[in-house]
Chain A
């Protein structure tokens, strides 16, 4: 079932999500978009991935390289750098903190 997540909300998380996906394995634009669909984020406009990847590369969180492709010209693959792995951990820590806080809040709401 497709869930539409507010784009404003998603904006804050997308970088963290990309860091997690690229830490698993290096990937290119369309490959990343397919992974987003697999994890349930089909409503994310995939065009937004590109400027985000460019920004992340500029800030040293990911690096890109050209890799041969089986069906055509080489493709631009992205993978996390050491700084990216640190940023990913920071994101996961903050996520854990938020999940715990939201969990407490929703318990209070239900009580």
Chain B
């Protein structure tokens, strides 16, 4: 089986676990996947799948996952990962995927109003930082799975700690975007701007449609719709503000206020649409 097939089969088979065993296995799965970011994904997924099949068989025979597997799943996970070969190309693939997603989804919303050159340097640096942060963050969140279970810290304290850490690590991304100025400035007004916007819109739409097709079997394809809505809205506003016919109207003081209002309304609709879609998917689950 390919890695994608293993992950899909894992998702399907997990549905047969009872609540207690599902919680046990999910902690194990998330820990292994997050700590195995630099490991050969195929090997990791094969192990996870084999263990899931065995836990299911233990469940059929009246044994809980904890009774079968033992009381120290973290130890077992660490030992499995120790034996799994590293594959740096996986990390590189992950980085490129994340960075591509950042460009695809962040470029259009940052382009609606022409007239101001875009600081490509700080945009890309921010992207590199956020992508690396996402990968490192995924790794660190994995570490907390068994740490928080053992920790006697109150639940509210854990949440506060997580919030403070999240703010601290996200702050540099904002700082780069707003305060770092590089000489790599690019003017995306006029026809060039329209060309870039249309190109990025096509790329993002093709990507989202591919993902929707992939997720259709799990009925999770509509998770992409709010994102597609916001991307299309940003693209439309970006193109309209660059059309010579509407130039004077949209870039006047009143026009800018209207545009800001449209983008704000778009953001609100995006958030409401996201929450609605998430609730709908939870109900279907």
Within the complex, what minimum Cβ distance (angstroms) separates B70 from chain A?
Answer: 3
Which residues of A from 33 to 79 have beta carbons under 8 Å from B? 33, 45-48, 50-51, 54-55, 58, 66, 69, 72-76
**Shortest distance from the beta carbon of A103 to any chain B beta carbon, whole Å:** 33
* B5 nearest CB across to chain A (Å): 10
> Does B149 interact with chain A (Cβ within 8 Å)?
no
In the assembled complex, A30 has its CB within 8 A of some CB on chain B: yes
Residues of B within 8 A of A50 (CB): 47, 50-51, 76, 80
**Chain B contacts for A74, CB-based, 8 A:** 1
**How big is the A interface, by class?**
20 to 34
Query: Is A16 an interface residue, CB under 8 A from the partner?
Result: no
Is B9 part of the contact surface with A, judged by Cβ < 8 Å?
yes
Would you call the interface of chain A mostly helix, strand, loop, or mixed?
helix
Say whether B82 faces chain A, with CB atoms less than 8 Å apart: yes
Would you call B53 and A55 a contact (CB within 8 A)? no
For residue B277, CB closer than 8 A to chain A, the reply is no
In chain B between 26 and 66, which residues have their CB closer than 8 angstroms to a CB of chain A? Answer: 46-47, 49-51, 53-54, 56-58
Q: Is the CB of A72 within 8 A of B53?
A: yes
B284 within 8 A of A: no
Known: A30-B57, A46-B68. A54 touches B76 (CB 8 A): no
| B70 adjacent to A72 (CB under 8 Å) | no
Q: Is the CB of A47 within 8 A of B82?
A: no
Q: Does B84 contact A (CB under 8 A)?
A: yes
Query: For the complex, what is the distance from the CA of A46 to the CA of B68, rounded to whole Å?
Result: 6
* Contact B83 A29, beta carbon cutoff 8 Å: no
CA distance A75 to B46 in the complex (A): 10
Give Cα A60–Cα B250 distance, bound, in whole angstroms: 70
Is there contact, CB below 8 Å, between B82 and A51? yes
Q: Does A28 contact B (CB under 8 A)?
A: yes
B240 to chain A, nearest CB (A): 52
Are A33 and B70 interface neighbours, CB within 8 A?
A: no
User: Do residues B50 and A76 form an inter-chain contact, with CB atoms below 8 A?
Assistant: yes
Q: Is the CB of A51 within 8 A of B79?
A: yes
Q: Give the distance to chain B from A17, nearest Cβ to Cβ, in Å.
A: 17
Chain A proximity mask over B1-43: 1 for CB below 8 Å, otherwise 0: 1000000010001000000000000000000000000000000
Can you report 25 A-B residue pairs in the complex whose CB atoms are below 8 A from each other? Answer: A30-B54, A33-B58, A33-B68, A45-B69, A45-B70, A45-B71, A46-B69, A47-B69, A47-B70, A47-B73, A47-B75, A48-B70, A50-B51, A50-B80, A51-B76, A51-B79, A51-B83, A54-B47, A54-B80, A54-B83, A54-B84, A58-B83, A69-B53, A72-B56, A76-B50
Partner-A contacts on B (CB < 8 A): 1, 9, 13, 46-47, 49-51, 53-54, 56-58, 68-73, 75-76, 79-80, 82-84
